[in-house]
Every structure is written in C-alpha cells, then in structure tokens.
Amino acid sequence: MSAFARRFLSRPTALFGFVVFVAIVVIALAAPAVFADGPFKIVAIPLLPPGSPGLPAGSDVLGRNILAGLAFGARISLLVGVTSTLGAIGLGVLLGAVAGYYGGAVDDLLMRVTEFFQIIPTFVLLMVLVAFLEPSLASAVIGIALISWPQVARVVRGEFLSLRQREFVQAARVLGLSDTSIIFGQILPNALAPIVVISSMMVGNAILTESALSFLGLGDPNLLSWGTMIGGSRAAMWVAWWTTVLPGLCIMVTVLSLNFIGDGLNDALNPRRGR
C-alpha cells in the first residue's frame, strides 16, 4: 500500500466517508436492476409508513416506493455532482493557470472576470440560468459549473504564481518548451493536490445545490431526485415524516461523506499539516 493510501486510510473519518460514498455509488449503479419498474410506478396507497409489506421505506404522497426513489435519486445527485464539478474544474483550471502563469494584464483581466461571478448572488444567478435554459439535467449541470469555477480559478492561480519561477520551470523555458507544455506538463502536475481536495468538496456542494433547485421545482421534471422528493412531499411532512426526512438524510450523509473524504485527502496530500 502506498504512503498516500496509508495516510488517507489511517484517518477514521476519511475511511468512514470513503466506505459510505462507495456504498452510495453501488446503490446508485444497482438501482435499475433492483427496481426494474423505476421510481415513478405507483405500488401502494399513499403515505404508508416504513416497514409496510414490500415497502421498507414506506410510500410517498402518490403511493410510489420511497426506497426506489432514494436509489434512483442517488443516480441523479451523483451524476449532477460529478459532471458539474468536472466542468467547473476544467474551466477554473484553464483560467487560473493562464492568469497565474502570465500575470500582468492577463491576470488582472481574468481576475476581474472571476470577481464579477463572485459578487453576484450565486444561487440567484443559477436560478436565472436554469430558468433561461429551461429546467433539465443539462441546464442544472451547466448552471452549477458556471457558478462554481471561480473558487477553483483562484486556487489554481495562487499555485501557479508560487510555482512559475521555480527552477524546473526555468529549465523548461531554457529547453525551449512551449507555454502550453510548461503550463500543463510541468506546473499543473505540481499543483494537483489542492485541486483534488477542492474537487471532493465541490461535489458535495453541487449535490446540495441541485437538491435546492429540485426542491424549488427547477429540476428536470422527468427525473426523480432527492430534492424533488422533498419538494413534492413537503405538504405531507407533518403527517408522514419519512417522505421528507429519508431523502434529507440521504443528502446529509452523502455530503458529509464527501467532506470527510476531502479532509482525508488534504491530510494525505499534506502530511506535515496532518501531523
């Protein structure tokens, strides 16, 4: 086992978060096989409590199997969280790397653009973007990526500013390597540690954001997510607590596990900080 893996797994919360997150991924992948009829099929009378025959998690306000909804909701939440984070990381790394490497006027221009996105209330901007593009899975992914990239850009810029004058970069310039080769082949690999850590945190934030959008009715109407389940059942929450508490717990556990993973990655990639 590598030193990195030992440092990561030696932290109990990181190990717990990793195991829980893997379990959630397995459940999400197995959902179509376990619940072949999908999450929208009405299987019983509405608002049956957990433990009812054939319904370990009960039924919702329409009589659908809540357990099936939770399993399929994991697929939507993870898909949105991972894809939007990848989009934000790609855009943030590109702009932050260019700003940090070239500095000067290029840095000033790109940082002003970054600050523009940061001073706008992010969730309001997201709602406007999703409403403009029409509520769908793709619009949610695009919107969340567009409001998430500034923090990545600032982290990457800071790393590039500290690395661009190092000896190995100077040697690459002397050898005649192009700026693109130096940025992506020399500096970026040495700046991956904070990017990896922030990525795990961003997936959790994206899941929370998607749940909030779906709760407000701005999610994809053809898909069932945890936020949609909570929003559709909020009128019955006082008489059927499980319809909102169970999907809320799923969101909480998923985001918490990702935060634990992020903390573990931070300590594993920065062993001096962990000690």
3-274 in CATH: which number? 1.10.3720.10
Q: Which SS3 state, helix, strand or coil, does residue 10 take?
A: coil
Do 82 and 208 touch, CB atoms closer than 8 A? no
Domain ranges of the chain: 3-274
List Cβ neighbours of 221 (8 Å cut-off, separation of 6 or more).
135
Do 245 and 165 touch, CB atoms closer than 8 A? no
- pTM (2 d.p.): 0.90
Query: Percent of the chain, pLDDT > 90?
Result: 51
How many Cα neighbours within 13 Å face the side chain of 98?
A: 12
Residue 138 has pLDDT above 60, yes or no: yes
DSSP for 148-209 reads HHHHHHHHHHHHHHHHTTSHHHHHHHHTT--HHHIIIIIIGGGGHHHHHHHHHHHHHHHHHH
Residue 149 has pLDDT above 50, yes or no: yes
* N residues, the chain: 275
Do 229 and 247 touch, CB atoms closer than 8 A? yes
Do 211 and 223 touch, CB atoms closer than 8 A? no
Q: Which SS3 state, helix, strand or coil, does residue 1 take?
A: coil
Render pLDDT for 251-274 as a digit per residue (tens, 0 to 9).
Answer: 999 999 999 998 888 888 775 554
pLDDT value at position 271?
Answer: 56
Among left, alpha and beta (phi > 0; psi -120 to 50; other), residue 50 is: beta
Residue pointed to by tokens 């433990």: 51
Structure tokens at 130: 């999703």
Do 54 and 206 touch, CB atoms closer than 8 A? no
Averaged pLDDT for residues 124-130: 87
How many Cα neighbours within 13 Å face the side chain of 192?
A: 7
List Cβ neighbours of 126 (8 Å cut-off, separation of 6 or more).
143, 144, 146, 147, 209, 213
Name the nearest CA neighbour of 108 among 157, 52, 46, 174: 157
List Cβ neighbours of 182 (8 Å cut-off, separation of 6 or more).
101, 169, 172, 173
Q: How many Å apart are CA 270 and CA 3, to the nearest integer?
A: 12
Q: How many Å apart are CA 266 and CA 173, to the nearest integer?
A: 31
Render pLDDT for 165-218 as a digit per residue (tens, 0 to 9).
Answer: 888 888 988 888 888 999 998 899 888 888 988 998 899 999 999 999 988 888
